[in-house]
Each structure stands twice: as structure tokens, then as C-alpha cells.
């Protein structure tokens, strides 16, 4: 039986720490997968790129590749760029490539957030829920649906803990409310404990800005107790979700490339960086165009036909 390949697809970043964090995450994931030739690649800003990843597997005699996008929500990248790029690379290197779903709004991502909060928050925060509020920091998008998905995750997390208040603040200028404004407003509410959860996979510009916003709030309101949770990629539940996305492809339930009209796949002319974006994947980059990458389709991840 011919060995198949798996390629973990990241967005890419100009920040070295972000690239290193992705590579470490990819290595840990690959160590958990048996029976496949595995590699990882970036869509832009970092090497190896998708073509190098596909070529590496093809050179090893791999004829079937499953690509798994490490992206939080949908947007131009997951709806168009990634499936079209992979389709064309499949033709170029004579390999079959199938594409899994992004993470989305699902039970696992809510559990990731719950675990991060339980690990970071002192016991009194959880024991005194009535005095504790949650702020989730996301990138933000020009698409309403994308921002609504992060708001949905926030609500699910709020329900898990029964926080009296939970809010989303955004880092991108393309949407509102900005994270600093949210933290300043939350400081005026009667909650003494404030948990800030950065909804990003890895270290990056946006994560650092979120931390600065929290530190400013702390300086202005020393009477408040702040906690900043770890990043999403530190949570092992994410590996389980990736395996679930892998199994969806193996079982034949999902192939995101097949969702794209053939004509669009054939006529795609490369990823141009002139659209606006506010996706939530690795988010370490700091370009300011407007494609968004937040999406959900609820926990079962069924696509609209």
C-alpha cells in the first residue's frame, strides 16, 4: 500500500518567533501521526512555501496528500487562495491533494479556551465568578460573519463558566470595538477580576498589542486583577481537533478543493496581496489588507451547498 502524505498549512509570518512556534507545533503534531509522510508549509511570508511542501512529498514518491489548514476561521485564504493553489500544485506535480477544514466554531475550540482560562486564572477568579469578567482579543475582519464567529466562541466560553460579562475586542483597524477601548470600558464595570484571552495560535504583532492594551488597563486601574492566558497553540486539544479534521478527509466527508468551481480552480492566477484582511490564524504578520479568516459553520462543519 502506497504511503500517503499530510501537509500542515500555516499562514506564515515575518516574525522569526512565529515561524519557530509554528514549526514546533507542526513537529509535535507530526509525532502523533503514524503511517503518513508528513511535512508543513506556509502560504506566504515564510519558507517552505506550499510548492516546496508539495514537491518534498512528491519527490518521496507520495501520490496522495491531505492538506490541513491551521487557520481559525474562513476568509479569502481558506475559500479561494489555499484550495486553488493546492489544486494547481497537484496538477503540476501529478499528485492528488485533498483539503481539510479550518478550525471554526466548534466544541473543541471552546474547550481550548476553557482549559487556557483554568490554567491561567487564580482559584479565586473561578470561585468568585460573579466578580470576574472575560475579554477575548481577536484580530477582527471587514466581514461581519467573521467577527460574529469570534463573538459566538466568546458566548460559548461565557456559558461554560457563567461569567456575568464577556466581551470581544479587536486588534485590526477594520472593525470595532478596539481592544484598548474594550479593556478601558471593562475596567469601569464592577468586576475586580479581568481575564484576557488572546485568540491567536502563536506569538506575533497582534498578540503583543493585546498584551500592551491589558498592561495599560492595569496601570490605569491598579485595583483590578488581570490575567493574560496562554496562546491557543499551547493547548493539546488543538491536536485532537486537527486529527478530527484529518479523519473528515479520510472518510470522504470533506474536501474543500471540491467546493470550488472547476473554472475558478483552473483560472486562479496566484495570491495577490491587495485585498483587505482580518483573519485569525497565526496572526503574527502585520500587513493591512482585508481578507478575513474567521468562520464557523457551527460545530459539525457542514458546508453550504
Q: Residues with catalytic annotation?
A: 11
Q: How far apart are CA 141 and CA 296, in angstroms?
A: 14
C-alpha cell of 206?
A: 497582534
Reading phi first (left if > 0) and then psi (alpha if -120 to 50, else beta), residue 107 is in alpha
In Å, how far are 17, 23, 102, 301 from 74, measured between CA atoms?
24, 22, 7, 11
Question: Helix, strand or coil for residue 164?
Answer: coil
Chain center to CA of 20 = 16
- In what helix (H) or strand (E) does residue 8 lie, and over which residues does it extend? strand 4-10
Cα-Cα-Cα-Cα dihedral sign, residues 262, 264, 266, 272: negative
Helices 237-250 + 16-31 axis angle, to 10:
60
Q: How far apart are CA 158 and CA 140, in angstroms?
A: 19
Residue with cell 468586576: 191
C-alpha cell of 252?
A: 470522504
Backbone angles phi, psi at 268, to 5 degrees: -65, 135
- Give all strands of the β-sheet with 96-99 in edge-to-edge order: 36-42, 4-10, 64-69, 96-99
* DSSP type of residue 9: E
Amino acid at each position: 500500500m502506497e504511503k500517503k502524505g499530510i501537509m500542515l498549512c500555516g499562514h506564515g509570518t515575518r516574525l522569526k518567533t512565529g515561524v519557530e512556534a509554528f514549526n514546533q507545533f507542526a513537529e509535535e503534531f507530526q509525532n502523533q501521526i503514524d503511517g503518513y509522510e508528513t511535512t508543513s508549509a506556509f502560504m506566504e511570508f515564510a519558507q517552505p512555501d506550499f510548492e516546496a511542501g508539495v514537491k518534498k512529498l512528491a519527490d518521496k514518491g507520495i501520490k496522495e496528500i491531505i492538506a490541513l489548514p491551521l487557520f481559525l476561521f474562513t476568509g479569502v485564504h481558506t475559500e479561494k487562495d489555499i484550495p486553488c493553489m493546492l489544486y494547481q500544485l497537484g496538477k503540476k506535480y501529478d499528485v492528488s491533494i485533498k483539503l481539510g477544514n479550518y478550525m471554526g466554531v466548534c466544541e473543541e475550540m471552546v474547550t481550548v479556551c476553557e482549559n487556557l482560562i483554568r490554567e491561567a486564572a487564580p482559584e479565586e477568579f473561578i470561585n468568585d465568578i460573579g466578580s470576574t469578567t472575560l475579554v477575548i482579543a481577536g484580530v477582527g475582519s471587514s466581514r461581519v460573519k467573521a467577527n460574529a464567529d469570534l463573538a459566538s466562541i466568546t458566548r460559548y466560553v461565557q456559558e461554560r463558566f457563567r461569567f456575568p460579562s464577556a466581551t470581544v475586542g479587536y486588534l485590526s483597524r477594520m472593525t470595532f470595538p478596539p481592544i484598548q477601548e474594550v479593556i478601558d470600558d471593562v475596567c469601569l464595570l464592577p468586576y475586580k477580576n479581568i481575564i484576557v484571552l488572546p485568540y491567536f495560535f502563536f506569538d506575533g504583532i497582534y498578540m503583543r498589542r493585546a498584551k500592551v492594551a491589558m498592561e495599560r488597563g492595569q496601570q490605569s486601574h491598579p485595583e483590578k486583577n488581570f490575567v493574560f492566558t496562554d496562546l491557543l497553540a499551547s493547548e493539546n486539544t488543538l491536536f485532537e481537533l486537527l486529527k478530527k479534521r484529518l479523519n473528515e478527509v479520510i472518510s470522504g466527508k470533506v474536501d474543500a478543493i471540491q467546493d470550488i468551481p472547476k473554472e475558478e480552480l483552473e483560472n486562479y492566477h496566484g495570491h495577490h496581496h491587495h485585498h483587505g484582511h482580518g483573519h485569525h490564524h497565526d496572526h503574527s504578520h502585520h500587513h493591512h489588507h482585508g481578507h478575513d479568516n474567521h468562520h464557523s459553520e457551527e460545530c459539525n462543519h457542514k458546508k453550504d451547498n
